[in-house]
Structure 1
Protein backbone atom coordinates (compact mmCIF):
# COMPACT_ATOMS: atom_id res chain seq x y z
CA UNK A 1 0.00 0.00 0.00
CA UNK A 2 1.33 3.41 -1.02
CA UNK A 3 0.31 6.50 0.93
CA UNK A 4 0.39 10.08 -0.29
CA UNK A 5 0.35 13.31 1.67
CA UNK A 6 -0.53 16.66 0.16
CA UNK A 7 0.63 19.07 2.81
CA UNK A 8 3.51 18.58 5.24
CA UNK A 9 2.64 21.18 7.83
CA UNK A 10 2.20 20.57 11.54
CA UNK A 11 -0.36 17.77 11.37
CA UNK A 12 0.74 16.31 8.03
CA UNK A 13 4.33 15.86 9.20
CA UNK A 14 3.13 14.53 12.57
CA UNK A 15 1.11 11.79 10.85
CA UNK A 16 3.96 10.92 8.52
CA UNK A 17 6.43 10.57 11.39
CA UNK A 18 3.98 8.65 13.57
CA UNK A 19 3.20 6.12 10.81
CA UNK A 20 6.87 5.54 10.05
CA UNK A 21 8.05 5.27 13.66
CA UNK A 22 5.13 2.94 14.49
CA UNK A 23 6.19 0.84 11.48
CA UNK A 24 2.75 1.10 9.93
CA UNK A 25 4.50 1.70 6.61
CA UNK A 26 8.04 1.99 5.28
CA UNK A 27 9.31 5.43 4.21
CA UNK A 28 9.48 4.27 0.59
CA UNK A 29 5.72 3.70 0.67
CA UNK A 30 5.10 7.40 1.35
CA UNK A 31 5.11 10.25 -1.15
CA UNK A 32 4.71 13.87 -0.05
CA UNK A 33 4.18 17.26 -1.64
CA UNK A 34 3.98 20.66 0.00
CA UNK A 35 3.64 24.26 -1.05
CA UNK A 36 7.07 24.90 0.49
CA UNK A 37 9.19 22.15 -1.03
CA UNK A 38 11.99 22.49 1.52
CA UNK A 39 9.72 20.92 4.17
CA UNK A 40 9.36 17.82 2.01
CA UNK A 41 13.12 17.69 1.47
CA UNK A 42 13.66 17.81 5.24
CA UNK A 43 11.32 14.85 5.72
CA UNK A 44 13.10 12.92 2.95
CA UNK A 45 16.44 13.52 4.68
CA UNK A 46 15.03 12.43 8.04
CA UNK A 47 13.42 9.31 6.59
CA UNK A 48 15.54 7.95 3.71
CA UNK A 49 13.37 6.40 1.04
CA UNK A 50 10.47 8.81 1.51
CA UNK A 51 9.51 10.19 -1.90
CA UNK A 52 9.57 13.98 -2.12
CA UNK A 53 7.31 15.11 -4.95
CA UNK A 54 7.38 18.49 -6.65
CA UNK A 55 3.66 18.49 -7.47
CA UNK A 56 0.40 17.40 -5.87
CA UNK A 57 -0.56 15.46 -8.99
CA UNK A 58 2.60 13.34 -8.70
CA UNK A 59 1.52 12.31 -5.20
CA UNK A 60 -1.94 11.30 -6.40
CA UNK A 61 -0.54 9.25 -9.27
CA UNK A 62 1.59 7.12 -6.93
CA UNK A 63 -0.74 6.57 -3.96
CA UNK A 64 -3.55 4.24 -2.94
CA UNK A 65 -4.54 6.53 -0.05
CA UNK A 66 -4.08 10.30 -0.25
CA UNK A 67 -4.24 12.43 2.89
CA UNK A 68 -5.15 16.06 2.25
CA UNK A 69 -3.42 17.96 5.07
CA UNK A 70 -4.04 21.49 3.84
CA UNK A 71 -5.78 24.63 5.04
CA UNK A 72 -9.49 25.18 4.34
CA UNK A 73 -8.97 27.99 1.83
CA UNK A 74 -6.60 25.82 -0.24
CA UNK A 75 -9.01 22.93 -0.75
CA UNK A 76 -10.99 24.07 -3.78
CA UNK A 77 -7.85 24.80 -5.78
CA UNK A 78 -6.09 21.57 -4.80
CA UNK A 79 -9.15 19.43 -5.56
CA UNK A 80 -9.48 21.10 -8.96
CA UNK A 81 -5.79 20.42 -9.60
CA UNK A 82 -5.79 16.72 -8.69
CA UNK A 83 -9.28 15.82 -9.95
CA UNK A 84 -8.18 14.64 -13.43
CA UNK A 85 -5.67 12.23 -11.85
CA UNK A 86 -7.83 10.67 -9.13
CA UNK A 87 -8.72 7.02 -9.78
CA UNK A 88 -12.00 5.32 -8.88
CA UNK A 89 -10.34 2.85 -6.52
CA UNK A 90 -8.38 5.50 -4.59
CA UNK A 91 -9.19 6.67 -1.08
CA UNK A 92 -9.00 10.44 -0.56
CA UNK A 93 -8.88 11.48 3.11
CA UNK A 94 -9.33 15.04 4.32
CA UNK A 95 -8.06 15.99 7.78
CA UNK A 96 -9.60 19.48 7.62
CA UNK A 97 -12.81 19.66 9.65
CA UNK A 98 -14.58 22.58 7.87
CA UNK A 99 -14.35 20.75 4.55
CA UNK A 100 -17.60 18.82 4.22
CA UNK A 101 -17.87 15.39 2.66
CA UNK A 102 -20.36 16.90 0.21
CA UNK A 103 -17.66 19.29 -1.02
CA UNK A 104 -15.52 16.32 -2.01
CA UNK A 105 -18.34 14.07 -3.20
CA UNK A 106 -19.45 16.56 -5.82
CA UNK A 107 -15.93 16.84 -7.23
CA UNK A 108 -14.32 13.40 -6.90
CA UNK A 109 -15.45 10.01 -8.13
CA UNK A 110 -13.59 7.82 -5.65
CA UNK A 111 -13.70 6.62 -2.06
CA UNK A 112 -13.88 9.58 0.34
CA UNK A 113 -13.33 9.96 4.08
CA UNK A 114 -12.59 12.65 6.60
CA UNK A 115 -10.58 12.10 9.76
CA UNK A 116 -9.87 14.28 12.77
CA UNK A 117 -6.41 13.37 14.08
CA UNK A 118 -4.88 14.63 17.31
CA UNK A 119 -1.45 15.69 18.48
CA UNK A 120 -1.70 12.74 20.88
CA UNK A 121 -1.26 10.45 17.85
CA UNK A 122 2.40 11.47 17.97
CA UNK A 123 2.65 9.23 21.04
CA UNK A 124 0.49 6.51 19.41
CA UNK A 125 -2.40 7.36 21.69
CA UNK A 126 -5.69 9.23 21.70
CA UNK A 127 -8.42 8.90 19.13
CA UNK A 128 -8.63 9.48 15.42
CA UNK A 129 -12.19 10.34 14.48
CA UNK A 130 -13.39 8.79 11.21
CA UNK A 131 -16.21 10.22 9.10
CA UNK A 132 -17.25 8.40 5.95
CA UNK A 133 -18.86 9.41 2.70
CA UNK A 134 -21.50 7.31 0.97
CA UNK A 135 -18.85 6.91 -1.72
CA UNK A 136 -16.75 4.53 0.37
CA UNK A 137 -17.14 0.79 0.87
CA UNK A 138 -16.50 -1.23 4.00
CA UNK A 139 -13.21 -2.58 2.65
CA UNK A 140 -11.73 0.92 2.34
CA UNK A 141 -13.04 1.91 5.76
CA UNK A 142 -11.34 -1.13 7.26
CA UNK A 143 -8.11 -0.41 5.39
CA UNK A 144 -8.02 3.15 6.74
CA UNK A 145 -8.85 2.14 10.30
CA UNK A 146 -6.21 -0.59 10.31
CA UNK A 147 -3.64 2.01 9.32
CA UNK A 148 -4.83 4.53 11.92
CA UNK A 149 -4.86 1.83 14.61
CA UNK A 150 -1.05 1.85 14.61
CA UNK A 151 -1.09 5.36 16.13
CA UNK A 152 -4.52 5.82 17.72
CA UNK A 153 -7.96 4.46 18.50
CA UNK A 154 -10.07 4.95 15.34
CA UNK A 155 -13.62 5.96 16.25
CA UNK A 156 -16.44 6.34 13.72
CA UNK A 157 -18.66 9.40 14.14
CA UNK A 158 -21.37 11.23 12.22
CA UNK A 159 -20.35 14.35 10.32
CA UNK A 160 -22.89 16.45 12.21
CA UNK A 161 -20.74 16.01 15.34
CA UNK A 162 -17.49 17.01 13.61
CA UNK A 163 -16.98 20.20 15.56
CA UNK A 164 -17.75 18.98 19.06
CA UNK A 165 -15.67 15.82 18.76
CA UNK A 166 -12.87 17.95 17.33
CA UNK A 167 -13.14 20.22 20.37
CA UNK A 168 -12.71 17.25 22.68
CA UNK A 169 -10.20 15.10 20.80
CA UNK A 170 -8.17 17.46 18.63
CA UNK A 171 -8.38 20.83 20.40
CA UNK A 172 -8.69 19.23 23.83
CA UNK A 173 -4.95 18.66 24.35
CA UNK A 174 -4.37 22.40 23.88
CA UNK A 175 -7.22 23.28 26.24
CA UNK A 176 -6.08 20.85 28.94
CA UNK A 177 -2.47 21.98 28.52
CA UNK A 178 -3.60 25.57 28.99
CA UNK A 179 -5.24 24.75 32.33
CA UNK A 180 -2.23 22.68 33.38
CA UNK A 181 0.03 25.62 32.54
CA UNK A 182 -2.17 27.95 34.61
CA UNK A 183 -2.06 25.48 37.52
CA UNK A 184 1.74 25.24 37.38
CA UNK A 185 2.26 28.99 36.98
CA UNK A 186 0.04 29.64 40.00
CA UNK A 187 1.94 27.05 42.05
CA UNK A 188 5.23 28.76 41.24
CA UNK A 189 3.86 32.23 41.97
CA UNK A 190 2.16 31.30 45.24
CA UNK A 191 4.77 28.99 46.76
CA UNK A 192 8.11 29.46 45.03
CA UNK A 193 8.39 25.83 43.90
CA UNK A 194 10.57 25.49 40.83
CA UNK A 195 8.67 25.45 37.56
CA UNK A 196 10.49 22.33 36.36
CA UNK A 197 9.51 20.40 39.49
CA UNK A 198 5.89 21.58 39.35
CA UNK A 199 5.64 20.76 35.65
CA UNK A 200 7.06 17.27 36.12
CA UNK A 201 4.60 16.52 38.91
CA UNK A 202 1.66 18.04 37.03
CA UNK A 203 2.46 16.21 33.77
CA UNK A 204 2.64 12.86 35.51
CA UNK A 205 -0.58 13.66 37.30
CA UNK A 206 -2.24 14.30 33.93
CA UNK A 207 -0.91 11.02 32.56
CA UNK A 208 -2.10 9.07 35.59
CA UNK A 209 -5.53 10.69 35.50
CA UNK A 210 -5.90 9.76 31.85
CA UNK A 211 -5.07 6.15 32.66
CA UNK A 212 -7.67 6.11 35.45
CA UNK A 213 -10.29 7.33 32.99
CA UNK A 214 -9.34 4.83 30.28
CA UNK A 215 -7.63 1.66 31.48
CA UNK A 216 -8.88 2.17 35.03
CA UNK A 217 -12.47 2.43 33.85
CA UNK A 218 -13.27 5.32 36.19
CA UNK A 219 -15.52 8.26 35.34
CA UNK A 220 -14.56 11.88 36.09
CA UNK A 221 -17.19 11.89 38.84
CA UNK A 222 -15.67 8.77 40.41
CA UNK A 223 -12.18 10.26 40.37
CA UNK A 224 -13.48 13.37 42.14
CA UNK A 225 -15.35 11.31 44.74
CA UNK A 226 -12.33 9.13 45.45
CA UNK A 227 -9.98 12.12 45.88
CA UNK A 228 -12.29 14.57 47.65
CA UNK A 229 -13.01 13.65 51.28
CA UNK A 230 -16.22 15.40 52.43
CA UNK A 231 -15.26 18.60 54.22
CA UNK A 232 -11.63 18.22 53.18
CA UNK A 233 -9.20 20.39 51.22
CA UNK A 234 -9.98 18.94 47.76
CA UNK A 235 -13.72 19.20 48.34
CA UNK A 236 -13.43 22.86 49.29
CA UNK A 237 -11.31 23.60 46.21
CA UNK A 238 -13.72 21.70 43.94
CA UNK A 239 -16.63 23.76 45.25
CA UNK A 240 -14.70 26.91 44.34
CA UNK A 241 -13.92 25.58 40.86
CA UNK A 242 -17.55 24.64 40.21
CA UNK A 243 -18.67 28.12 41.23
CA UNK A 244 -16.06 30.06 39.26
CA UNK A 245 -16.07 27.93 36.09
CA UNK A 246 -19.83 27.73 35.54
CA UNK A 247 -20.55 28.29 31.84
CA UNK A 248 -16.86 28.43 30.88
CA UNK A 249 -16.91 25.39 28.62
CA UNK A 250 -20.28 26.35 27.15
CA UNK A 251 -18.65 29.60 26.03
CA UNK A 252 -15.65 27.67 24.72
CA UNK A 253 -17.87 25.40 22.61
CA UNK A 254 -19.90 28.33 21.28
CA UNK A 255 -16.64 30.05 20.29
CA UNK A 256 -15.22 27.05 18.41
CA UNK A 257 -18.54 26.38 16.69
CA UNK A 258 -18.89 29.98 15.51
CA UNK A 259 -15.41 29.86 13.96
CA UNK A 260 -16.11 26.44 12.43
CA UNK A 261 -19.29 27.55 10.65
CA UNK A 262 -17.51 30.67 9.47
CA UNK A 263 -14.80 28.46 7.94
CA UNK A 264 -17.41 26.16 6.36
CA UNK A 265 -18.91 29.18 4.58
CA UNK A 266 -15.46 30.21 3.33
CA UNK A 267 -14.76 26.71 1.99
CA UNK A 268 -18.16 26.54 0.27
CA UNK A 269 -17.57 29.92 -1.36
CA UNK A 270 -14.15 28.80 -2.58
CA UNK A 271 -15.61 25.67 -4.20
CA UNK A 272 -18.33 27.73 -5.92
CA UNK A 273 -15.72 30.17 -7.16
CA UNK A 274 -13.61 27.32 -8.54
CA UNK A 275 -16.64 25.84 -10.30
CA UNK A 276 -17.35 29.17 -12.01
CA UNK A 277 -13.70 29.50 -13.04
CA UNK A 278 -13.75 26.05 -14.64
CA UNK A 279 -16.90 26.73 -16.66
Structure 2
Protein backbone atom coordinates (compact mmCIF):
# COMPACT_ATOMS: atom_id res chain seq x y z
CA UNK A 1 0.00 0.00 0.00
CA UNK A 2 1.31 3.42 -0.96
CA UNK A 3 0.54 6.21 1.50
CA UNK A 4 0.13 9.85 0.52
CA UNK A 5 -0.01 12.71 3.00
CA UNK A 6 -1.19 16.12 1.85
CA UNK A 7 -0.25 18.69 4.47
CA UNK A 8 2.69 18.24 6.82
CA UNK A 9 1.78 20.69 9.57
CA UNK A 10 1.62 19.45 13.16
CA UNK A 11 -0.71 16.47 12.70
CA UNK A 12 0.40 15.59 9.18
CA UNK A 13 3.99 15.37 10.34
CA UNK A 14 3.07 13.39 13.46
CA UNK A 15 1.12 10.98 11.28
CA UNK A 16 4.01 10.48 8.87
CA UNK A 17 6.57 9.97 11.63
CA UNK A 18 4.35 7.61 13.63
CA UNK A 19 3.52 5.40 10.65
CA UNK A 20 7.18 5.07 9.71
CA UNK A 21 8.58 4.69 13.24
CA UNK A 22 5.83 2.19 14.08
CA UNK A 23 6.86 0.09 11.06
CA UNK A 24 3.34 0.45 9.69
CA UNK A 25 4.80 1.58 6.36
CA UNK A 26 8.27 1.97 4.92
CA UNK A 27 9.58 5.41 3.93
CA UNK A 28 9.74 4.25 0.31
CA UNK A 29 5.98 3.59 0.41
CA UNK A 30 5.14 7.16 1.41
CA UNK A 31 4.86 10.40 -0.55
CA UNK A 32 4.18 13.70 1.20
CA UNK A 33 3.64 17.29 0.20
CA UNK A 34 2.89 20.64 1.76
CA UNK A 35 1.91 24.07 0.50
CA UNK A 36 5.30 25.21 1.83
CA UNK A 37 7.45 22.43 0.39
CA UNK A 38 10.35 23.12 2.74
CA UNK A 39 8.29 21.61 5.60
CA UNK A 40 7.93 18.36 3.68
CA UNK A 41 11.59 18.36 2.76
CA UNK A 42 12.50 18.65 6.45
CA UNK A 43 10.77 15.31 7.04
CA UNK A 44 12.46 13.78 4.00
CA UNK A 45 15.85 14.65 5.53
CA UNK A 46 14.97 12.47 8.53
CA UNK A 47 13.53 9.66 6.40
CA UNK A 48 15.50 9.82 3.12
CA UNK A 49 13.53 6.99 1.54
CA UNK A 50 10.25 8.86 1.34
CA UNK A 51 9.25 11.01 -1.63
CA UNK A 52 8.13 14.61 -1.71
CA UNK A 53 5.47 15.44 -4.28
CA UNK A 54 5.44 18.88 -5.85
CA UNK A 55 1.72 19.27 -5.19
CA UNK A 56 -1.43 17.54 -3.90
CA UNK A 57 -2.39 16.11 -7.30
CA UNK A 58 0.95 14.35 -7.70
CA UNK A 59 0.61 12.75 -4.26
CA UNK A 60 -2.97 11.63 -4.93
CA UNK A 61 -2.03 10.17 -8.28
CA UNK A 62 0.82 8.10 -6.85
CA UNK A 63 -0.78 6.96 -3.57
CA UNK A 64 -3.44 4.37 -2.74
CA UNK A 65 -4.47 5.85 0.63
CA UNK A 66 -4.49 9.65 0.59
CA UNK A 67 -4.53 11.50 3.92
CA UNK A 68 -5.81 15.07 3.71
CA UNK A 69 -4.16 16.82 6.67
CA UNK A 70 -5.00 20.45 6.02
CA UNK A 71 -7.15 22.95 7.92
CA UNK A 72 -10.93 22.46 7.54
CA UNK A 73 -11.43 25.49 5.27
CA UNK A 74 -8.76 24.16 2.88
CA UNK A 75 -10.16 20.62 2.55
CA UNK A 76 -12.66 21.38 -0.20
CA UNK A 77 -9.98 23.02 -2.34
CA UNK A 78 -7.72 19.98 -1.94
CA UNK A 79 -10.54 17.59 -2.87
CA UNK A 80 -11.34 19.59 -6.00
CA UNK A 81 -7.66 19.60 -6.93
CA UNK A 82 -7.10 15.86 -6.53
CA UNK A 83 -10.48 14.59 -7.78
CA UNK A 84 -9.39 14.35 -11.46
CA UNK A 85 -6.66 11.80 -10.54
CA UNK A 86 -8.73 9.75 -8.08
CA UNK A 87 -9.75 6.27 -9.21
CA UNK A 88 -12.40 4.07 -7.60
CA UNK A 89 -9.80 1.80 -5.98
CA UNK A 90 -8.22 4.63 -3.96
CA UNK A 91 -9.21 5.84 -0.49
CA UNK A 92 -9.34 9.45 0.73
CA UNK A 93 -8.90 9.96 4.48
CA UNK A 94 -9.67 13.22 6.25
CA UNK A 95 -8.32 13.88 9.76
CA UNK A 96 -10.54 16.85 10.62
CA UNK A 97 -13.65 16.50 12.78
CA UNK A 98 -15.94 19.29 11.40
CA UNK A 99 -16.10 17.68 7.95
CA UNK A 100 -18.15 14.49 7.74
CA UNK A 101 -17.41 11.50 5.56
CA UNK A 102 -20.70 12.21 3.76
CA UNK A 103 -19.49 15.67 2.77
CA UNK A 104 -16.25 14.25 1.39
CA UNK A 105 -18.13 11.49 -0.44
CA UNK A 106 -20.18 14.18 -2.18
CA UNK A 107 -16.98 15.46 -3.83
CA UNK A 108 -15.08 12.26 -4.73
CA UNK A 109 -15.98 8.87 -6.19
CA UNK A 110 -13.66 6.57 -4.24
CA UNK A 111 -13.67 5.06 -0.75
CA UNK A 112 -13.76 7.66 2.02
CA UNK A 113 -13.06 7.58 5.73
CA UNK A 114 -12.14 9.92 8.53
CA UNK A 115 -9.37 9.09 10.99
CA UNK A 116 -8.86 11.55 13.82
CA UNK A 117 -5.38 10.97 15.25
CA UNK A 118 -3.85 12.11 18.54
CA UNK A 119 -0.45 13.50 19.39
CA UNK A 120 -0.09 10.39 21.58
CA UNK A 121 0.12 8.35 18.38
CA UNK A 122 3.62 9.77 17.98
CA UNK A 123 4.59 7.53 20.92
CA UNK A 124 2.76 4.65 19.19
CA UNK A 125 0.07 4.93 21.84
CA UNK A 126 -3.37 6.42 22.42
CA UNK A 127 -6.50 6.12 20.29
CA UNK A 128 -7.28 6.96 16.66
CA UNK A 129 -10.96 7.60 15.85
CA UNK A 130 -12.47 6.02 12.72
CA UNK A 131 -15.60 6.92 10.74
CA UNK A 132 -16.39 5.20 7.42
CA UNK A 133 -18.20 6.47 4.36
CA UNK A 134 -21.11 4.48 2.92
CA UNK A 135 -19.01 3.50 -0.11
CA UNK A 136 -15.90 2.58 1.87
CA UNK A 137 -15.01 -1.01 0.99
CA UNK A 138 -14.41 -3.74 3.55
CA UNK A 139 -10.91 -4.12 2.13
CA UNK A 140 -10.07 -0.50 2.95
CA UNK A 141 -11.69 -0.68 6.39
CA UNK A 142 -9.61 -3.69 7.36
CA UNK A 143 -6.43 -2.35 5.76
CA UNK A 144 -6.48 0.99 7.59
CA UNK A 145 -7.54 -0.59 10.89
CA UNK A 146 -4.59 -2.98 10.61
CA UNK A 147 -2.26 -0.12 9.69
CA UNK A 148 -3.25 2.01 12.67
CA UNK A 149 -2.98 -0.86 15.14
CA UNK A 150 0.77 -0.37 14.74
CA UNK A 151 0.58 3.19 16.13
CA UNK A 152 -2.60 3.36 18.23
CA UNK A 153 -5.80 1.71 19.38
CA UNK A 154 -8.16 2.26 16.41
CA UNK A 155 -11.78 2.77 17.42
CA UNK A 156 -14.85 3.25 15.22
CA UNK A 157 -17.18 5.95 16.56
CA UNK A 158 -20.67 7.25 15.77
CA UNK A 159 -20.96 10.67 14.17
CA UNK A 160 -22.88 12.07 17.15
CA UNK A 161 -19.91 11.63 19.52
CA UNK A 162 -17.24 12.86 17.10
CA UNK A 163 -16.60 16.12 18.95
CA UNK A 164 -16.49 14.79 22.50
CA UNK A 165 -14.40 11.78 21.45
CA UNK A 166 -11.97 14.13 19.72
CA UNK A 167 -11.92 16.39 22.80
CA UNK A 168 -10.83 13.44 24.91
CA UNK A 169 -8.42 11.80 22.47
CA UNK A 170 -6.91 14.73 20.57
CA UNK A 171 -7.45 17.78 22.81
CA UNK A 172 -7.07 15.90 26.09
CA UNK A 173 -3.26 15.83 26.06
CA UNK A 174 -3.18 19.65 25.75
CA UNK A 175 -5.84 20.10 28.44
CA UNK A 176 -4.06 17.89 30.94
CA UNK A 177 -0.64 19.32 30.07
CA UNK A 178 -2.05 22.72 31.00
CA UNK A 179 -3.35 21.37 34.31
CA UNK A 180 -0.05 19.70 35.12
CA UNK A 181 1.86 22.89 34.31
CA UNK A 182 -0.42 24.77 36.70
CA UNK A 183 0.24 22.03 39.28
CA UNK A 184 3.98 22.56 38.84
CA UNK A 185 3.71 26.35 39.00
CA UNK A 186 1.70 26.09 42.21
CA UNK A 187 4.32 23.88 43.82
CA UNK A 188 7.11 26.31 42.87
CA UNK A 189 5.18 29.34 44.09
CA UNK A 190 4.11 27.88 47.45
CA UNK A 191 7.20 25.84 48.42
CA UNK A 192 10.98 25.84 48.08
CA UNK A 193 11.09 23.41 45.15
CA UNK A 194 12.57 24.74 41.90
CA UNK A 195 10.88 24.60 38.49
CA UNK A 196 13.22 21.98 37.02
CA UNK A 197 12.84 19.56 39.91
CA UNK A 198 9.05 20.00 40.08
CA UNK A 199 8.80 19.41 36.33
CA UNK A 200 10.96 16.28 36.52
CA UNK A 201 8.97 14.84 39.41
CA UNK A 202 5.63 15.62 37.78
CA UNK A 203 6.68 14.16 34.41
CA UNK A 204 7.88 10.92 35.98
CA UNK A 205 4.71 10.75 38.09
CA UNK A 206 2.60 10.97 34.91
CA UNK A 207 4.63 8.26 33.21
CA UNK A 208 4.22 6.03 36.25
CA UNK A 209 0.49 6.74 36.39
CA UNK A 210 0.16 5.75 32.76
CA UNK A 211 2.01 2.50 33.36
CA UNK A 212 -0.21 1.61 36.33
CA UNK A 213 -3.27 2.01 34.13
CA UNK A 214 -1.70 0.30 31.11
CA UNK A 215 -0.68 -2.72 33.18
CA UNK A 216 -4.16 -2.88 34.74
CA UNK A 217 -2.92 -2.64 38.31
CA UNK A 218 -5.66 -0.11 39.09
CA UNK A 219 -8.55 1.76 37.54
CA UNK A 220 -8.70 5.56 37.92
CA UNK A 221 -11.15 5.13 40.79
CA UNK A 222 -9.27 2.40 42.67
CA UNK A 223 -5.98 4.24 42.23
CA UNK A 224 -7.43 7.30 43.94
CA UNK A 225 -8.79 5.14 46.74
CA UNK A 226 -5.40 3.51 47.29
CA UNK A 227 -3.58 6.84 47.60
CA UNK A 228 -6.27 8.84 49.36
CA UNK A 229 -6.29 7.62 52.97
CA UNK A 230 -9.25 8.93 54.94
CA UNK A 231 -8.16 11.93 57.03
CA UNK A 232 -4.76 12.01 55.34
CA UNK A 233 -2.84 14.63 53.40
CA UNK A 234 -4.00 13.46 49.95
CA UNK A 235 -7.58 13.72 51.13
CA UNK A 236 -7.06 17.37 51.99
CA UNK A 237 -5.82 18.01 48.47
CA UNK A 238 -8.75 16.14 46.92
CA UNK A 239 -11.14 18.28 48.96
CA UNK A 240 -9.61 21.41 47.44
CA UNK A 241 -9.82 19.93 43.93
CA UNK A 242 -13.47 19.05 44.38
CA UNK A 243 -14.20 22.56 45.58
CA UNK A 244 -12.15 24.48 43.02
CA UNK A 245 -12.76 22.51 39.81
CA UNK A 246 -16.54 22.46 40.23
CA UNK A 247 -18.11 22.45 36.77
CA UNK A 248 -14.85 23.33 35.02
CA UNK A 249 -14.85 20.31 32.74
CA UNK A 250 -18.50 20.77 31.82
CA UNK A 251 -17.58 24.30 30.71
CA UNK A 252 -14.67 22.94 28.67
CA UNK A 253 -16.97 20.65 26.70
CA UNK A 254 -19.51 23.46 26.30
CA UNK A 255 -16.79 25.70 24.84
CA UNK A 256 -15.40 23.06 22.45
CA UNK A 257 -18.88 22.12 21.23
CA UNK A 258 -19.76 25.78 20.66
CA UNK A 259 -16.64 26.22 18.53
CA UNK A 260 -17.40 22.95 16.77
CA UNK A 261 -20.90 24.23 15.88
CA UNK A 262 -19.30 27.31 14.31
CA UNK A 263 -16.95 25.11 12.26
CA UNK A 264 -19.85 22.90 11.16
CA UNK A 265 -21.71 25.97 9.91
CA UNK A 266 -18.70 27.04 7.87
CA UNK A 267 -18.24 23.60 6.31
CA UNK A 268 -21.93 23.41 5.40
CA UNK A 269 -21.59 26.72 3.63
CA UNK A 270 -18.67 25.29 1.67
CA UNK A 271 -19.96 21.80 0.93
CA UNK A 272 -23.69 22.56 0.83
CA UNK A 273 -26.42 21.00 3.00
What displacement does 1:217 show? 5.3
Aligned to 1:147: 147
Q: What secondary structure sits across from 2:154 in the alignment?
A: strand
Instruction: Tell me how far apart the structure 2 counterparts of residues 51 and 182 of structure 1 sit (CA, whole Å).
Output: 42
Does the aligned pair in 2 maintain the 1:120–1:126 contact within 8 Å?
yes
Aligned to 1:100: 100
For 1:136, what is the secondary structure of its paired residue? coil
SS of the equivalent of 1:129 reads: strand
Structure 1: distance between partners of 2:218 and 2:263: 37
Tell me the distance in 1 between the aligned counterparts of 2:77 and 2:211.
43
Structure 2 SS opposite 1:70: coil
* Secondary structure of 1:199 counterpart: helix
| 1:42 is the counterpart of 2:38 | no
The Cα shift of 1:157 comes to: 0.9
Aligned partner of 1:6 in structure 2 is 6
Tell me by how many angstroms 1:213 deviates.
2.6
What is aligned with 1:239? 239
1:256 paired with 2:256, answer yes
Deviates more, 1:128-137 or 1:159-168: 128-137
Following TM superposition, by how much is the alpha carbon of 1:218 offset from its aligned partner in structure 2, in angstroms? 2.7
More displaced 10-residue stretch of structure 1: 140-149 or 17-26: 17-26
* Counterparts of 2:184 and 2:113, CA distance in 1: 40
Contact 1:75 1:267 in 2 (8 A): no
TM-score (norm 2): 0.96
Which secondary structure does the structure 2 equivalent of 1:131 belong to? strand
Alignment gaps of 5+ in structure 2: none
Asked if the contact 1:33–1:55 (Cα under 8 Å) also holds between the matched residues in 2, the reply is: yes
Alignment: residue pair count: 273
* Greater displacement, 14-23 / 118-127: 14-23
How far is 1:137 from its partner? 2.2
> Runs of 5+ in structure 1 lacking a partner?
none
The secondary structure found in structure 2 opposite 1:196 is helix
Tell me how far apart the structure 1 counterparts of residues 217 and 156 of structure 2 sit (CA, whole Å). 21
Post-superposition Cα deviations, 1:197-237, rounded to whole Å, max 9, x if no partner, equal: 11111111112222223322532221111110111111121
